[in-house]
Structure 1
Amino acid sequence: MKIFILEDDVDQAELISHWLQEKNHECQSFTNGRDFIAKVPYEQPDLLVLDWNLPGISGLEVLNWVRSSEYSDLPVIFVTTRNHEDDLVRALDQGADDYLVKPIKQSELIARSHALYRRHNQAQNKLVSIEPFTFNHKEGTISFNGNEVKLTAKEFQLANYFFSNQDRLISRDYLLETIWTKSASITTRTVDTHISRLRKKLALDGSTGWKLVSVYHKGYRLIEVKTE
C-alpha cells in the first residue's frame, strides 16, 4: 500500500512512516499541503494520513480538495491534536474516513489503516443501481430518476450500506463503528443528523418505493414499500 503523510512535525512524520514501513507499506511524507496536492496525481497513493494544523493550506482544506477532485474516493485518516467533538464531526462530515487524536498508538494506526484499505477495495457491496436510484462510486453521488443528488461522503456511505442491507435492523452504535470507525469519541447524534439529511435528500419516506424507518431505542431499517 502506498501511503501519503501530510505532517509538518518532521519527527512525527518519521515515526508514522517508520510504523507503516514496518508493515511493508511505501510511505512518502510532506510538510505542506501544496506539495502534497501537487504529488497526488502523479504518485496515485492508496491512503492519505493528514494533520489538521499546517502552515499555509490546512489539512481540512486538503481534504476538501481531495473530495472535490478525481481522487475523491481515496481513504483519508486525520491524525491531529484537535480533540474537540465539533472538530471531529466537522472533519468526518467533510469526508474524512477516520480520526485519530495525538498521541497515537502504533497498533491503532496500523489497524485502522488496514481496515480502511480493505473497505475501500471491497467491491462486493458496491451497488450500481437499484430502482429508482443509480450509484456512482467514483463520484460519490446517487442519481434519482436520472437527476444527480449531491451527498457528503458519509451520506453516500450510509446510503450504500443501507441499500446493501435492506430490511436489516442496524443500530446507531454499529453505524458509528462501521461508517465512522468510532464507537466512543462521537455521539449517536451524529448518526441521527446524517440519517435525517439522507432521508430528506433521497426522499426515503416511502414515496420513492423505499422508506428509512427509525426503530425506537434500536436503530434504523431500510424497507421497500409499495407505491401506488
Structure 2
Amino acid sequence: MDTTHDRRSGASVAPVLAPLLLAAGVAALGAGRFIQFDDDSGFGSDRWIMPWAAVVAVLAGAALVVGLSHPVARRRLGMAVAALAAVTILLAWQVEGFRFVFKGGEGELNMLLAALALTALWLLPRTYLVRSPGRDGRTHRRPGAGTRLAVYGSLLVAAPVVMFFVGAGIAERGCDVEVDGCGLPLLEGLIWALAAAAVVVVAGVVSEVVLASRRRWSAAS
C-alpha cells in the first residue's frame, strides 16, 4: 500500500517538478552568462562562468529523468521545451544584444535551437506505439504519428550534418591550396548536406504515403 501511495505521489509531483527543473537550468544559464542580452559584438562576449555549465547539465539531466518517469510529466516537459525554443527564436529575432554562447562559436544558438526542437519532438507524443490491425488480421503495435515525426526530425538534422562533413572531407582531399585556396570544401559540403536533407524529406513523404495506403487496405479488408 505504501508503494502504491509513493507511486501516486511521484506521479503527481513529476509533472510540476520537471518543468521547474528546466526553468532552474535556464536560470543557471543566465547566471553563468551563457545567455546574454547586452552583447553588441555579434559573437557573444567572454564573460561566461564555466562552473555553471556543470550546474546546467545536472539540472537538465534531472529534468529529463523526472520527465521520463511519467507520461504526463514527459508531455509537460515537452511543452516547456517547445515554449523555450519559441521564446529563444523570438528573442534572437527581436533583441539585438541577445546571444547564446558556450565556446564563442557563431552556430551555437542554432545548435541549441535544434537540440530543443528535437527534444520537444521526442517528449511530446502521447504514446510512442499505437495499436493497428495488420494484414494477418492481428493487432500490432506500430510507431505513432508523433514518433514518426520525431524520427523524421532527427534524421533531418543528423543526416545533413554528417553529409556536410563527408562532402567537405572528400573535397578537401582533392583541394590544391595554391590554386584555389581550398574554398571548395565548404561549398561541396553544403551541396551534400542539402542533398541529404532532400533525401530525408522524400523518404519521409514516401514512407507516409505507403503507411496510409496500408491502413486503407487493412480497413477495406
TM-score under structure 2 length normalisation: 0.28
Between Structure 1 and Structure 2, the one with more helix by share is: 2
User: Does 1 or 2 have the higher relative contact order (CA < 8 Å, sep 6+)?
Assistant: 2
TM-score by length of 1: 0.28
Higher strand share: 1
